[in-house]
Amino acid sequence: MPTLVFWIDVDNTLLANDEVKKVLQHHLQVEMGEQLNTRFWKIYEEVREETGLVDIPLSLKRLRAEIPEDQLDERTYLHVHSIFDNFPFIKALYPQAIETLHHLNTIGQTVIVSDGDLDFQAEKIVNSTLAETVEGRVLLYIHKQEHIPDIQRTYPADHYVMIDDKPQILIDMKEALGPKITTVFVRQGKYAKEHPKNFAPDISVDKIGDLRTFTAEQFLYPNQ
């Protein structure tokens, strides 16, 4: 049997990141008021547009630099920072996310391959127990599809499986590795209904827990 390595995304794949954002918006509005809450999330989107990724530390830093202390005192700012630092991410895991990782590890090797700002993303993965569940096999990149050779060298296998909620990442991975990779589209979060013209994942599921019943053969030979 060929060896399998699963490359598994985090946001909106294992963890309901869109719901996390809604909860954070509520907490920030309570803490800072509607005007500053709105301004923070505008900065958040500006940073994402500029850098191509979500960068919470940079967004908070820009908020601090832009808003004078008579509108946002240091104590409140530090409390806002702590809301992100201490968010209970374990409560945001999708149902059966942990069980799915355990199952996949019985038929291959599970590796979390995530992107985003490295500090906040690492904290999210540790605090949600995802790092522990995959026995520390975690790779973080700004843009993971730009580091495919590094990922392969770190966790070599005969065949790879990319599990992600973002169509473009799955497209990029398939273009890079062809038949050596099986792409799995998890229809969760804001990209669930996004279907680019050239998007044809090997496997599509409605939720991460659906993969608990898949066999190694289904991942190796998805079109049979």
Look up the CATH number of the domain holding residue 210.
Answer: 3.40.50.1000
Q: Which of 89, 109, 134 is the last residue of a domain?
A: 89
d(CA 65, CA 68): 8
**Domain span at 24:** 17-89
- The number of beta carbons lying within 10 Å of the beta carbon of residue 101 is 21
Question: Whole-model pTM?
Answer: 0.89
Look up the CATH number of the domain holding residue 68.
Answer: 1.10.286
pLDDT-derived band at 48 (thresholds 50, 70, 90) equals confident
d(CA 114, CA 124): 11
Check whether residue 139 and residue 211 sit in a common domain: yes
pLDDT in tens, 107-162: 999 999 998 777 888 889 999 999 999 999 999 998 898 999 999 999 999 999 99
Q: Which of 66, 89, 112 is the last residue of a domain?
A: 89
Q: For the chain, what's the residue count?
A: 224
Check whether residue 65 and residue 102 sit in a common domain: no
Check whether residue 130 and residue 208 sit in a common domain: yes
Check whether residue 82 and residue 182 sit in a common domain: no
Check whether residue 128 and residue 207 sit in a common domain: yes
- Residue 4, pLDDT score: 97
pLDDT-derived band at 174 (thresholds 50, 70, 90) equals very high
Check whether residue 103 and residue 75 sit in a common domain: no
pLDDT in tens, 181-209: 999 999 998 888 877 888 899 999 999 99
Check whether residue 43 and residue 64 sit in a common domain: yes
pLDDT in tens, 75-98: 999 999 999 988 999 999 999 999
Domain count, the chain: 2
pLDDT in tens, 4-46: 999 999 999 999 988 998 999 999 999 999 999 999 999 999 9
Check whether residue 12 and residue 34 sit in a common domain: no
Check whether residue 82 and residue 118 sit in a common domain: no
Check whether residue 21 and residue 11 sit in a common domain: no
- Residue 161, pLDDT score: 98
Check whether residue 8 and residue 78 sit in a common domain: no
Check whether residue 136 and residue 213 sit in a common domain: yes
Q: Which of 89, 105, 136 is the last residue of a domain?
A: 89
